[in-house]
């Protein structure tokens, strides 16, 4: 009997756990009304969770490992900064447009990326992010911050609200909305096509799948979601600059988050992102050690728990539950 290799059985314990966590996160501002640092950190965690999920749909599901996800993050962020400063449109519209521009960026990358596989593709995405960084530094807009290369200050135009608790709820709502949408997508026939491409592209073609089309779609969707996270980030910090949006660090951090939580699970990277941001922001007293710890933990997880923590946890939980019911069943058989 193969217990550890069960197929698609629903995992209620995890669902219950998620629901409890959801309620807990909704209540955070009630319990810590004065702790705006905590709320601010959690807002960041939500933004990073969105970014990590967007990475997961492209890299964890469609198997197109992106090393330059800050490209989409930056496109979304800059679009937001420009639009809010120049036109002062409503945040919802601006954030959506940030996503759209990043999705277009995804299509732009997809064009050459369709011809590339494996490491070449990863390199291509990395290069796109580096090139956008260089390009934006050459930009010297009148609306920019004097002296800072390519930076745009958009306070007060791109300020959602002064109420941090409210902003936290916005970020939480957005994160959950996107998590739901991506999770549904991942479990749909489109997600299945993505996974086929990830597991064996040639076999997917032999199964009649238009891999070019699905890969392009993955780039566009991932770009859109990452763009939305970048847009929200700009609303959170009130400015856009190459160093805050296009830092290579972001691209590495989303990979770390996804590896920790579990690639190809959508929900896993949320936990990875929360862990990452909480460690990064709360262990500041450790200085550089906190990054050392983060990367070391990620490396260990990759090595010993290659599927990621969430899938492993789910497995352990199910085994534990089944060891009870399993004994009963064995007696019957």
Partner 1 sequence: MLILGFLISSLYALVAVGFTMIFGVAGVLNLAHGAFVMVGAYLAIWAFVILKWSLPVAFAFAILGVAVIAPLVYRVLIRPIENRTVTVFLATLLLAVLLEQVIILFFSAKPRTDLPPFIQGGFVLWGTSIPYNRLLAGVVALVVIGLLWAFVTRTKTGKAILALSMDRRGAALVGIASHRITLWVWAISGALAAIAGLFITSFLGIQPFEERVSLVIAFSTVVLGGLGSIPGSLWAAFIIGYAETIAQAFAPEARGLASLVILLIVLTIRPQGLFGRAAT
Partner 2 sequence: MTMKSKTNTIGPILVLDRLTKSFGGLHAVSELSFDVRDGEILGFIGPNGAGKTTVFNLITGVYRPTRGRVLFQGQDISGWPPYRVVNAGIARTFQIPRPFRHKTVDQNVEISTLPNEIFTRYPSRRERRERVLQCCTRTGLCEVCGQDPSQCHDVSSCACRREFPNTLPHAGLRKLEVAKALATEPALLLLDEPFAGLTVAEVEELSELLRDLQREGRTLVIVDHNMRGLMKLVERVVVIHFGTKLAEGAPGEVAQNPVVQEAYLAGSGAGDETA
Q: Tell me which residues touch partner 1 (CB under 8 A).
A: 63, 65, 67, 112, 115-120, 122-124, 126-127, 130-131, 134, 137-138, 248, 252, 255-256, 259, 288-289, 291-292, 295-296, 298-299, 302-303, 306
**Residue span binding partner 2 (CB under 8 A) among the ranges 81-89, 188-196, 242-250, 290-298:** 188-196
Measured distance CA(124)–CA(201) in Å, rounded: 19
Residue 262 near residue 25 (C-beta atoms within 8 A): no
Question: Shortest CA distance to 218 belongs to which of 246, 253, 188, 242?
Answer: 188
Beta-carbon neighbour count of residue 304 at 10 Å?
8
Q: How many residues does the chain have?
A: 333
Measured distance CA(192)–CA(215) in Å, rounded: 12
Binding mask 212-241 for partner 2 (x = CB under 8 A): xx---x------------------------
Measured distance CA(301)–CA(309) in Å, rounded: 8
Cis peptide bond upstream of 156, omega within 30: yes
Question: To the nearest whole angstrom, how small is the minimum distance from the Cβ of residue 192 to partner 2?
Answer: 6
Residue with tokens 């580096």: 130
Question: To the nearest whole angstrom, how small is the minimum distance from the Cβ of residue 200 to partner 2?
Answer: 5
Question: To the nearest whole angstrom, how small is the minimum distance from the Cβ of residue 36 to partner 2?
Answer: 43
Cβ-based nearer residue to partner 1, 6 or 134? 134
What is the maximal distance between C-alpha atoms in the chain?
Answer: 78
Touching partner 2, residues 259-278 (CB under 8 A): 264
Task: Identify what 207 binds: partner 2, partner 1, none; CB under 5 to 8 Å per kind.
Answer: partner 2
Question: Shortest CA distance to 56 belongs to which of 214, 225, 274, 174?
Answer: 225
Question: To the nearest whole angstrom, how small is the minimum distance from the Cβ of residue 299 to partner 1?
Answer: 4
Q: Is 19 in the site for partner 2 (CB under 8 A)?
A: no
Half-sphere exposure of 184 (CA within 13 A, CB side): 6
Task: Identify what 65 binds: partner 2, partner 1, none; CB under 5 to 8 Å per kind.
Answer: partner 1
Task: Identify what 292 binds: partner 1, partner 2, none; CB under 5 to 8 Å per kind.
Answer: partner 1
Reduced to 3 states (helix: H, G, I; strand: E, B; else coil), residue 31 is: helix
Question: To the nearest whole angstrom, how small is the minimum distance from the Cβ of residue 154 to partner 1?
Answer: 25
Measured distance CA(173)–CA(156) in Å, rounded: 23
- Among positions 136, 151, 182, 204, the unique one binding partner 2 when judged by CB under 8 A: 204
Measured CA angle at 69 (ends 122, 26), to 5 deg: 140
Task: Identify what 2 binds: partner 1, partner 2, none; CB under 5 to 8 Å per kind.
Answer: partner 2
Q: Is 192 in the site for partner 2 (CB under 8 A)?
A: yes
Chain residues that interact with partner 2, rule: CB under 8 A:
2, 5-9, 189-190, 192-193, 195-196, 198-200, 202-213, 217, 264
């Amino acid at each position: 009997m193969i217990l550890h290799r069960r197929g698609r059985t629903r995992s209620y314990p995890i669902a219950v756990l998620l629901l409890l966590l959801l309620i807990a996160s909704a209540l955070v501002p009630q319990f810590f009304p004065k702790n705006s640092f905590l709320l601010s950190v959690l807002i960041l965690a939500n933004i990073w969770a969105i970014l990590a999920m967007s990475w997961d749909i492209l890299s964890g599901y469609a198997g197109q490992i992106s090393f330059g996800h800050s490209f989409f993050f930056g496109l979304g962020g800059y679009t937001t900064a420009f639009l809010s400063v120049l036109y002062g449109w409503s945040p919802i519209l601006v954030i959506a447009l940030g996503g759209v521009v990043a999705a277009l960026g995804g299509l732009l990358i997809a064009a050459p990326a369709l011809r590339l596989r494996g490491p070449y593709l990863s390199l291509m995405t990395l290069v796109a992010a580096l090139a956008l960084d260089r390009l934006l530094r050459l930009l010297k807009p009148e609306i920019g911050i004097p002296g800072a290369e390519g930076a745009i200050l958009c306070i007060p135009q791109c300020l959602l609200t002064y109420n941090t608790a409210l902003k936290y709820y916005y970020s939480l709502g957005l994160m959950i909305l996107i998590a739901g949408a991506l999770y549904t997508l991942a479990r749909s026939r489109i997600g299945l096509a993505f996974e086929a491409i990830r597991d064996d592209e040639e076999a997917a073609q032999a199964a009649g799948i238009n891999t070019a089309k699905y890969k392009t779609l993955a780039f566009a969707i991932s770009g859109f979601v990452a763009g939305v996270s970048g847009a929200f980030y700009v609303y959170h910090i009130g400015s856009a600059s190459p160093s805050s949006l296009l830092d290579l660090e972001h691209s590495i951090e989303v990979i770390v988050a996804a590896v920790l939580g579990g690639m190809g699970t959508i929900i896993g990277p949320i936990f990875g992102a929360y862990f990452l941001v909480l460690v990064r922001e709360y262990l500041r007293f450790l200085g550089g050690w906190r990054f050392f710890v983060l990367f070391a933990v990620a490396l260990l997880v990759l090595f010993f728990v290659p599927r990621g923590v969430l899938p492993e946890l789910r497995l352990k939980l199910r085994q534990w539950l089944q060891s009870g019911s399993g004994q009963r069943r064995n007696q019957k058989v």
